[in-house]
Amino acid sequence: MATIARRPAPQPRAHPARPSGARNRSRGARLLGALCGSRGIFWQGVAAAVALGASAVVSLLVVPADAAQGDVQRLMYVHVPAAWTAYLSFAVVAFASAAYLRTGRVHWDRLAVAAAEAGVLFTGLTIALGSLWGRPIWGAWWTWDPRLTTTLVLLLVYAGYLAVRGLPDNPDRGARWSAVVGLVGFLDVPVVHLSVVWWRGLHQPATVLRPGTPTMAGSMLAALLLAVLAFTLLWAYLVAARMRTERAAQRTRRELLSAPVRRGVQPVAPVADLVATAPTPQGAGSHG
């Protein structure tokens, strides 16, 4: 942590108060901007709702259920896409964290935090839906199988990512600390995916994302891909909407901090001089 704190702060190239201005915005930033505008968010929401509806009809009514498991197997059409969007989230967190550490541009940090929150949501959903599936088929809500354990670790790492953000008083420092967690935490994603290959467990090996052809009937695979598409659109919608609220929050924070009278500082300073030997120092909040 100390080495991170000592790193020179990445300087935003654009003026911090107004990071827009088309002249020096990268193509990625323009795309993010379009997706996170109110129209972009609206149409992503519409696309997600349509795809989720179609996916629900196909996976519940159109495709046949697995011969051995029966209708319970239909949980696959939500459990697997939830896991996929969790992987996607953490890949985006890692990418955006690296971009933020390199460029210091706040839109990368917004993308990282939005994706991390979506990742925590979808990882939790993956575990909950897997639990519902595991109870009738395996015979247990939970077991300390390597796949389940590494997935729970993933959830906790990104909960940690979100907790670390708020730790320093300086939001830029919080963003940098969490970016490091976002980069290092991604190492668990391949471990989760390959846990079923590396170690013995109860969880079955991969059906689709594996070397060779998927071990699944074609109609089921098509339904699964539709469900993955629908979840990905939902994910994009949630991330875009969350980035928009984060931008509003960052602007508000900046305006408060750059206000001529810094809140708290002026009235406290003379008092602090008078009671310099008092047992409660300033910044006692850091004791948590």
Partner 1 sequence: MLATLAVVLVTLAVVLVRGLGSNLVYYATPTEVLAARSSNAHDRLRLGGQVVPGTVVKSAHGVRFVVGDGTSRVTVVGDARLPTMFGPGQGVVVEGYLAGGRTLHPVFRADTVLVKHGSDYRPPTEAPSVGTRRAARAR
Nearest to 157 by CA among 195, 183, 193: 183
Which residue of 103, 131, 207, 282 would you call a contact of partner 1, by CB under 8 A?
Answer: 207
| CA distance between the termini of the chain | 18
The residue range among 149-157, 227-235, 238-246, 269-277 that interacts with partner 1, by the rule CB under 8 A, is 149-157
Judged by CB under 8 A, the residue of 200, 211, 213, 280 near partner 1 is 200
SS3 label, residue 215: coil
Interface residue with partner 1 among 128, 156, 180, 229 (CB under 8 A) is 156
**Pick from 14, 28, 54, 69: which binds partner 1 (CB under 8 A)?**
69
Residue 138 as a binder of partner 1 (CB under 8 A): the answer is: yes
Single out the residue of 4, 34, 140, 184 in contact with partner 1 (rule: CB under 8 A). Answer: 140
Q: Is residue 148 at the binding interface for partner 1, with CB under 8 A as the rule?
A: yes
Q: Which residues contact 58 (CB under 8 A, 6 or more apart)?
A: 223, 226, 227
- Residue 89: phi, psi to the nearest 5? -55, -50
Three-state SS for 66?
Answer: strand
> Which position has the token pair 């909407």?
241
Stretch that binds partner 1, among 58-66, 82-90, 237-245, 253-261 (CB under 8 A): 58-66
Asked if residues 202 and 185 have their Cβ atoms less than 8 Å apart, the reply is: no
Q: Contact with partner 1 (CB under 8 A): which of 163, 248, 271, 278?
A: 163
Q: Which residue bears the tokens 């120092």? A: 281
56 binds partner 1 (CB under 8 A): no
How far apart (Å, rounded) are the C-alpha atoms in residues 130 and 156? 17
Residue among 186, 185, 207, 187 nearest 196 (CA):
207
What number of chain residues touch partner 1 (CB under 8 A)?
49
Residue 284 found at the interface with partner 1 (CB under 8 A)? no
**Among the candidate windows 6-14, 32-40, 214-222, 257-265, which touches partner 1 by CB under 8 A?**
214-222
Q: Please state, in angstroms and rounded to a whole number, the distance separating the CA atoms of residues 44 and 40.
A: 6
Match 């602007």 to its residue by tokens.
251
- Applying CB under 8 A, the residues found at the interface with partner 1 are 63-71, 73, 76, 136-140, 143-146, 148-150, 152-153, 156-157, 159-160, 163-164, 166-167, 199-202, 204-207, 215-217, 219-220, 286-288
